[in-house]
Amino acid sequence: MNRFQLKLESALDSLDWVRDAEVPAAPGTITLPDMRVRLYHYTQVADASDDTRHYAAESLRKNGLQLGKARGSTYGEPNAVWASTEMPSTKKVFAEFGVIIGDPRWGIGKPPAGDSPQQYEARKWDCYFMGSILPEEIVAVHEPWHFHFRYIVEHGLVDRVRVGEYDYLLETPEYAPAIRKILNS
Among 140, 154, 137, 138, which Cα is nearest to 23's?
A: 140
Can you give the pTM of this predicted structure? 0.87
Quick check: 60 pLDDT over 80?
A: yes
The per-residue pLDDT for 11 is 42
For the ranges 18-22, 63-67, 109-113, which has the lowest average pLDDT? Answer: 18-22
Taking only the tens place, the pLDDT of each residue in 46-59 is 666 777 888 889 99
Quick check: 112 pLDDT over 70?
A: yes
Residue 4: its H or E element:
helix 3-14
For helices 50-63 and 176-183, the axis angle rounded to 10 degrees is 80
- The mean of the pLDDT values for the chain is 88
The per-residue pLDDT for 15 is 74
Cβ(82)–Cβ(126) below 8 Å: yes
Quick check: 39 pLDDT over 70?
A: yes
What b/e sequence results for 94-129 when a residue is b if at least 16 CB atoms lie within 10 Å of its CB, and e otherwise?
bbbbbbbbebebbeebbbeeeeebeebbeeebebbb
Quick check: 7 pLDDT over 50?
A: no
Quick check: 90 pLDDT over 60?
A: yes
Quick check: 43 pLDDT over 90?
A: no
Quick check: 183 pLDDT over 60?
A: yes
Taking only the tens place, the pLDDT of each residue in 26-36 is 999 999 999 99
The per-residue pLDDT for 13 is 52
The per-residue pLDDT for 53 is 85
The per-residue pLDDT for 55 is 87
